[in-house]
Each structure stands twice: as C-alpha cells, then as structure tokens.
Amino acid sequence: MTNVQPMSGEPSDDSGISELGGATARRGTKSGRKRGRRWIRITAATLGLTLVAGCGAAYLYYQHLNDNIQSGSKNLSDAKGAKTAPNAAGQTPLNILMIGTDSRGSAADVALGGAADDAGRPGLADVQMLLHISADRTNASMISIPRDTLVDIPTCHSEDGKTTYPAAKHTMINEALPRGGPGCVVGTWIKLTGLEIDHYMMVDFAGVVNMADAVGGVPVCVNMNLYDRYQPGIGGTGLKLPKGTTYIKGEQALQWLRLRDAWGDDIGRTKAQHMYLSALMRQLKKNGTLADPGRLMTLAEAATKSIQVDKPIADIKKLYDLGNDIKAVPAERTTTLTVPVDTAPTDPDRLVLNPDTAQIWKMLLADTPIDGKSLKAAEGSSGGASSGASAGASASPSPSGTTAAAPAREISKGAVQVTVQNASGATGRASEVKSALVEAGFSKASTTANGDVQESTVLTYGSGQSAQAQAIAAALDLPSSALQESGSGRTLSLVIGSDWTSGSSYPASAGGSGGKKSAPTKLPKSVETVTADDEKSCMTVNPQGHIYTY
C-alpha cells in the first residue's frame, strides 16, 4: 500500500493509536493534546469572529433603523406653554402630540391616498391627538380635536428658518402642518392648551398600513354591514365591512381612519380613530409582537420608515424607552375622548371649541387623572403643580433619558431654606411673602435685597428638592409654570415678579388659584370617554348619503 504522508504540521491519522504503550503512546498523547489545543484556538477564534460579526450586524441594523427616522424641530412657533412641576418622586408627566398626515410624498402614499395630482401639495394634519401620560405612569389620556375645528394658528417658521408664516385666526386646525411642518402643529396646540408639549410623532398613509400589517390586523367593529362606496364628485373610501368585528389591515386600515360620512360627522371619525388605536395597543400586548424578534423587526421597519419625530427622540433607544413608558400604562387606565365642540357661528360645516374644553387643559396641567380614579394621589396639586405619584411610588426613567429622583420622605417645613427677593416693583413684597411662609411653617424663610423688576414670579430649586418646592408652591398657590429646577444648591430662591404685586397668595388672574385649589378633579359633563380596554364597543353606522348597507 502506498503510505500517505500527513501535511506538514498535521499529525498522522494513526498517531498514538498503532501502539497502546511505551514512547509511541506518549508521543501520540502529546500530539493529541496539541491537536486539541489547536482546535480550541480555532473554535475560539471562529466564535470571536462570529460575535464580532453579530455585533457589527446588530450595530449596522441599529444604524439602519435610525437612518429611517425623519426628525425636525419640536416647536417652530412663538408659542410657549407651562410645564407641570415634578411630583414627590421627581417624575413629570409626558405630553406627546400624535399627528396623522394625508401627505402624498411617496409613491406608496399616492397609491393609498387617491389622485396622483395631489402628490405635490403639502400634507394636512387630518389626525391630531394629544397623549398625556401621568407622572407616575399609572394612567394616560388620548385627546382628539376634530380636523374641521377652527383655531388660532400662531406665527410659525420653516425648518430652515428662511420662511415665516404669519399668524392665522379662525383657521382649520389641520392647516397648521403646511405652515412649517409638525413643529407648527405643536405650536398651535401649545397656544390652544397653554401646555408644554414634550414630543411629537407624525405618521403618513403608508405607515398606517404597514404597522397594521405588522401586528397581523387590528380589530374594529360596526353595528351593521357597511359599504362606503366611492362616487365621482362625492367621495367615499371604498371600505366594505360586515356587521360585527373585523380584523383590518393593509388599505382597509387606512380607509377606516379616513372614513367620515359613515359616522355622520368629523366627531364620529375621531371616535373611530380612537377605537383603532386602542385596538392596536391591545394587539401589541396580546399577540406577542413586542416579544417576537421577527415581528418586532417587521414592526420596527414599518414604523421607522413612516415616522417623523422631534430631534431629541430621533433614536431607536429613546423611542424604545418612550414606548416602555406608554406600555406601562394599563389599558383600563387609558382614556380616549374628543374635546367638546360646537358648530361654528360663521360656517355650519366648521366647528369651534366649547368653553368646557378649558377644564380639560387644567386637568392635564395639574396631572389629574382623566378617568377620575386615584384622585387621592392627585390631591395637594396647586394651580397646576403636579403631585402625581405618592411618596412611596417607585421612580422610573423618563423618556428624555434622565432618571427620576428617588422617592422623597415627608419633608420638614422648618428645615427648608428659602430666600425671598422682591423684583415686583411694589414695596414690601419680600417681607410680606416671607411672613406668609413663616406662618405656613417655613420658619427658615428669609429675605434678600431687592432685584431689578422682572415680569414673572419664579421659584428656583435644586436637584432633589422638588418636594420642598411643591410644598412652598402649595402654601403660596404658585402654578407649576413658576417652578424651575436649576443647579444643586441647598437654598431655594423665590423671586417675586410684577405679576404678583399684592397679597400672600399668587393671584388667580396670573395663573394661580388665588388662595383656592382651582384645578378641577373631573371632566365636564359634555365630554364622552372610552377606555382602551373596551373590546365590546361598536361604531354606529349612519346609513345616509353615499353610505350603503348590504
């Protein structure tokens, strides 16, 4: 037989096997050990390369998703809103404006949205909802304003700052979007509500379809067979649904969100949109999309390709953290509602906000639960200063990336150091307010030399002093907008502005409660609400006009 020699550096196949003892056996054992060590090195190197490649692929995919996301400035207007003060655990509520646009900016949007000759026009913000998540993340509310509502749009600027859009009075709210983009929609809501908006999220036509597909369909319900047949010159979405519950996805999802005449008016459309979004949230939790890597990647692709957000959250990690904050709220504590509206006196086809709407904005500023539950946790709120979580509530990360402070202990008012400065232009104000604080138990309150006159009263507090600041605010009826966190000093500083020239309680005319706890604790009777866990409600079809049952 021909002997086959092993390759250089490779042991022969019979090394250590031809003889079971003596030197040959020992040589075979030594050779086997070398071979074993060599394969360990090869395996380790291969595993290392695999891990590096995997990490690289993960990083590239992470960057790919980030590159999908469009972003812009949060507020492109001159409007400024009030922000709710932190609760005792250092947490603050979140106000997120959700915008749905009918933009035909892509081929997919044109295919879904109708006529191609609309492709060049700027999109309108036909869906606008404010998502308010409580400071302690125990409850949330989703508040809609119908697109036909007439509001005042503030002066807005284009993203590049080159174009200024003058303020517009009594204009449909959906027309804010073409006046600078989502940053102008945010500014319009700030002007309308008086609230600071933390973030915005805007989704186009294609995004609605893709996300519905990613979760396997969204259940909606109608009380009778529905066919919204399209008729030239009249309209119609083409949606056709049988009586009862149907899982809609693809173009049907878009048709559902655009459908109006089937419900009789624009208010009905907002209710249908609430039903869809509530069902979408339930589906995300029910079918394991968020726990299934494949489905999650599909959803991530769909969402990131069709979403635009404000720049501070234009990152997958930050959006994931924000999603966890939203996910933490139980469906039964997520309330949906449409603001009360009246027919516009100048146009029967348009709407105006009912005065009761102001009560809703006050509740949001005070972080009072819209569903009327856990009101005890909200008591002690003063003119918009949030109490939110109780002292025993656990802290949670905020979507902005900062970690909430540890829960505060019951404070001792006598240990709080606060200086009072008069910058109101009126005489004796510092001494008057200091006396009120001492009477309320803040025995270490002191005055400092008068400052230059400033317009607004401000209470400045350091990191970890939110509970002390809130206690002072409660004693003086200061609104949340007067509280500002700054630095880490031990002494709080209260500067009395020209908005408070008399009295020991911040005046109601300037945004305070004037000595009375004015934040409402329940919604006005004109508001109808539904919770996101309601799986039995059905939309009532209005079989008029071009709505046909079959």
Q: Name the phi and psi angles at 130, rounded to 5.
A: -100, 115
pLDDT of residue 431: 94
Please tell me the predicted confidence (pLDDT) of residue 389.
32
pLDDT tens column, 166-181: 999 999 999 999 999 9
Task: Give the model's pLDDT for residue 121.
Answer: 45
d(CA 123, CA 104): 7
What lies within 8 Å, CB to CB, of 500 at 6+ separation is: 424, 429, 457, 506, 507, 510
For 482-505, b/e burial (b = at least 16 CB within 10 A) is: bbebeeeeeebbbbbbbbbeebbb
pLDDT of residue 142 exceeding 60? yes
Please enumerate in sequence order all residues whose Cβ is within 8 A of that of 260, keeping only pairs 6 or more positions apart, or say none.
Answer: 266, 268, 269
**Percentage with pLDDT > 90 across the chain:** 37
Contacts 24+ apart (CB under 8 A), 504-508: 504/432, 504/433, 504/435, 504/436, 504/476, 505/436, 505/476, 505/477, 506/383, 506/457, 506/476, 506/477, 506/478, 506/479, 506/482
pLDDT of residue 185: 96
Of the candidate ranges 237-251, 288-302, 391-405, 427-441, the one whose mean pLDDT is the lowest: 391-405
Q: What is the pLDDT of residue 35?
A: 55
Greatest mean pLDDT range, 305-309, 375-379, 496-500: 496-500
**Can you say how many angstroms the Cα of residue 548 is from the centroid of all Cα atoms in its chain?**
38
Which runs of consecutive H residues, i.e. helices, occur in 156-264?
A: 182-193, 205-214, 251-258
Tokens matching residue 62: 């992470």
Position 405 pLDDT exceeds 50: no
- Give the separation between CA 353 and CA 361, rounded to whole angstroms: 12
pLDDT at 493 > cutoff 90? yes
pLDDT tier at 201, thresholds 50, 70, 90:
very high
Rounded mean pLDDT of 95-99?
94
CATH class of 70-377: alpha beta
- How many Å is the Cα radius of gyration of the chain? 31
Rounded Cα–Cα distance for residues 204 and 127 (Å)? 10
Domains in the chain: boundaries: 16-68, 70-377, 412-510
Catalogue the E-assigned strands of 362-511.
418-422, 445-447, 458-461, 483-485, 492-496
Mean pLDDT, rounded, for 246-260: 89
Percent of the chain topping pLDDT 70:
72
Please tell me the distance from the alpha carbon of residue 523 to that of residue 521, in angstroms, as a whole number.
7
Across the chain, mean pLDDT equals: 78
Least confident of 233-247, 378-392, 407-421, 448-462: 378-392
> What is the reported pLDDT for 284?
77
Segment 1-24, tens digit of pLDDT: 444 444 444 444 443 333 333 444
Say if residue 70's pLDDT is above 80: yes
Q: What pLDDT was estimated at residue 141?
A: 95
Q: How confident is the model at residue 85 (pLDDT cuts 50, 70, 90)?
A: confident
Q: Does pLDDT of 282 surpass 50? A: yes
Token code pair at residue 431? 């001494």
Given this model, what pLDDT does residue 275 score?
92
End-to-end CA distance of the chain: 88
Question: 192 in helix, strand or coil?
Answer: helix
Tell me the pLDDT band of 34, cut-offs 50, 70 and 90: low
* pTM for this entry: 0.65
Let me know the angle formed at the C-alpha of 172 by 167 and 174, rounded to the nearest 5 degrees.
Answer: 95
Q: Which positions ≥6 away from 279 have C-beta within 8 Å? A: 218, 219, 220, 535
- The enclosing H or E element of 97 equals strand 94-101
The better pLDDT of the pair 392, 355 is held by 355
Q: In the predicted model, what is the mean pLDDT of residues 422-434?
A: 93
pLDDT at 287 (0 to 100)? 63
Residue 387 confidence (pLDDT):
33
Beta bridge partners of 548: 227
CATH class of the domain defined by 412-510:
alpha beta
